[in-house]
Chain A
């Protein structure tokens, strides 16, 4: 059962996006497809703008719950659906900053946070670049992928990973090195 790993999804065209949104408005169970398309984008948008993983996860959760709840009210006006998603994300970020300011007595107003529709083409490229990288991590050979997740997501030390994988620390460092070399080559359009 195996066996069918979805390919990295490209950014959807406007028409595809419109169809997906309409389908989800008719049947909320179809929201899954939108979630899969936008999860990495929303997560990265937030993660790059907050201090820690827990906050990024809380905000991502908030954004998707709001998006699902408000989907029936969404009206298609020609702008990318992502713009709506990222406006929710921007609002969630601003609210979070206000909460954090109150708790920690931070001075001043919340910083300007650009919504997706106002992001520069460079910002958009950075988001696409990041989404592509996340996709490529999932295509690494299993051992390399596991080292990457344990090192960067679980933030384990090389020794801890070596113990868990029953490998030497040197072997784990090599797996990490090879994984990053492969990712770099693929991101630059070459082959590892």
Chain B
């Protein structure tokens, strides 16, 4: 009989342990893994993160109910769940060299830098650039959140002018805006100096102003994109609209709405590789949606907590590898 590897020996011991977690006299593991098995026994008492966050939420609700019932404090103004001036699902760029990306967004897309939070080492922890009626967020990548290449759809009043400015700012041309795009919009494509893709489009029925379409929409290329729709509906209560599929069932394009803001998806194939994006979405109840997303198959990244910038915030990863930063504005914090 071939000798088992240490990893296999350990797994056999763990299987015994899990079958009889309270039994102290299990078969003796080999000396090489004995200490690790002892440690594994301790892990049987590891608490469920979902339980910890659910209990915390429960206690917080109880706290707020007590506050509401107390006679003295003035009633709180109900907070809007969306931070003011934050209408879209924001792509959150984490790159190596965030200041250069800010410069690019300002020059190429006439963006306005509105927040920059530096780290002590000079890197950028968080920044926001307003483009049209929307927001893009960014920061320097790190070990936990490495750089990813994302695709973003920009709806602008004049795709040709924006495309030209993007090239001047250092973007690489993919194709100039054309009326022949299948969407029916005037549509071009360029890559920024970090390798992110930008679809630069003007709607034929363009309506400028806040009542028009959102300027910025994340665009996700996914393998088996059709599976994203039931997942996102069940995880975030999203609604898919305008789903166009090929005869063999592949999603050619779909727009998906979460809490009034939208993103787009399609099937990754050929030269279009799957993307894994960082996305920031405001929702009415971060805690509820976090729990709902985990039940639907998302992976916990950060459980809900009150962020110092005045949001209730959490993060999950979907089965396609996209990271979703969920947030509910608490009506406090930075302007």
Is A47 interfacial (CB-CB < 8 Å)? yes
Is B62 interfacial (CB-CB < 8 Å)? yes
Interface residues of A (CB under 8 A from B): 1-5, 28-29, 31-32, 35, 39-40, 43-44, 47-48, 51, 53, 56-57, 60-61, 64-65, 68, 129-130, 133-134, 137, 146, 148-149, 151-153, 155, 158, 170, 173-174, 176-177, 180-181, 183-184, 187
Is B6 interfacial (CB-CB < 8 Å)? yes
The answer to whether B46 touches A148, judged by C-beta atoms less than 8 angstroms apart, is: yes
Add 8 more A-B contacts to A65-B59, A68-B62, A173-B8 (CB < 8 A). Answer: A1-B126, A1-B315, A48-B45, A61-B55, A133-B39, A173-B11, A176-B14, A177-B10
Which residues of chain B are within 8 angstroms of A148 by Cβ–Cβ distance?
43, 46
A129 to B22, CA, bound (A): 19
Interface residues of B (CB under 8 A from A): 6-8, 10-11, 14, 18, 22, 35-36, 39-40, 42-49, 51-52, 55-56, 58-60, 62-64, 66-67, 92, 94, 125-126, 137, 139, 142, 144-145, 278, 280, 299, 302, 305-307, 313, 315, 325, 327
30 sampled A-B residue pairs with Cβ under 8 A: A2-B126, A2-B139, A3-B139, A3-B144, A3-B145, A4-B125, A28-B67, A29-B63, A31-B63, A32-B60, A39-B55, A40-B47, A43-B52, A44-B45, A48-B45, A51-B22, A57-B47, A65-B62, A68-B59, A129-B42, A149-B46, A151-B14, A151-B18, A152-B44, A173-B7, A173-B11, A177-B6, A177-B7, A180-B39, A181-B36
Which residues of chain A are within 8 angstroms of B59 by Cβ–Cβ distance?
31-32, 35, 64-65, 68
The answer to whether B92 touches A1, judged by C-beta atoms less than 8 angstroms apart, is: yes
A51 to B144, CA, bound (A): 36
The answer to whether A152 touches B63, judged by C-beta atoms less than 8 angstroms apart, is: no
Known pairs A28-B66, A149-B49, A176-B7; A61 contacts B126 (CB<8 A): no
The answer to whether B47 touches A43, judged by C-beta atoms less than 8 angstroms apart, is: yes
The listed residue with most B CB atoms (<10 A of its CB), out of A51, A158, A180, is A180
Choice from A1, A51, A152 contacting B280 with Cβ under 8 Å: A1
The answer to whether A134 touches B52, judged by C-beta atoms less than 8 angstroms apart, is: no
A117 to B18, CA, bound (A): 32
* Least CB separation from B280: chain A residue: A1
How far, in Å, is B50 (CB) from chain A's closest CB? 9
The answer to whether A130 touches B45, judged by C-beta atoms less than 8 angstroms apart, is: yes
Which residues of chain A are within 8 angstroms of B126 by Cβ–Cβ distance?
1-2
